[in-house]
Amino acid sequence: ILNVEQSPQSLHVQEGDSTNFTCSFPSSNFYALHWYRWETAKSPEALFVMTLNGDEKKKGRISATLNTKEGYSYLYIKGSQPEDSATYLCALGGYSTLTFGKGTMLLVSP
């Protein structure tokens, strides 16, 4: 059974702050690491799928890095905005099922 850990569990920042979250996973049998953003009452939205060690991806103010050898990924948000408030989920998986962490709940206050 894969164990995917996310930290922190929740985070409250002010508008304009930059923040980051961590996703830790077993480094053996790695296929892909997924990041999702899940806003209340909406569908989880795919942010990134990362497969290669050292991979860095960026989408607007959000970026992510991947270290498969040590088993972690970081998600960064630069200049947080209230609309970034959501739960950020990471998941391990390839062409099959995803194993999710519990998520990091981010609240950005104006």
Partner 1 sequence: EAGVAQSPRYKIIEKRQSVAFWCNPISGHATLYWYQQILGQGPKLLIQFQNNGVVDDSQLPKDRFSAERLKGVDSTLKIQPAKLEDSAVYLCATARQGAYEQYFGPGTRLTVT
Task: Indicate which single residue of 34, 64, 71, 75 sits in contact with partner 1 (rule: CB under 8 A).
Answer: 34
Task: Indicate which single residue of 49, 72, 76, 85 sits in contact with partner 1 (rule: CB under 8 A).
Answer: 49
- Contact (CB, 8 A) for 18 and 77: yes
- Contact (CB, 8 A) for 33 and 49: yes
Which residue stretch of 13-21, 61-69, 70-78, 89-97 sits at the interface with partner 1 (rule: CB under 8 A)?
89-97
Distance separating alpha carbons of residues 106 and 13, to the nearest angstrom: 8
Closer to partner 1 at the Cβ: 41 or 60? 41
Q: How many CB atoms within 10 Å of residue 110? A: 7
Task: Indicate which single residue of 14, 28, 29, 41 sits in contact with partner 1 (rule: CB under 8 A).
Answer: 41
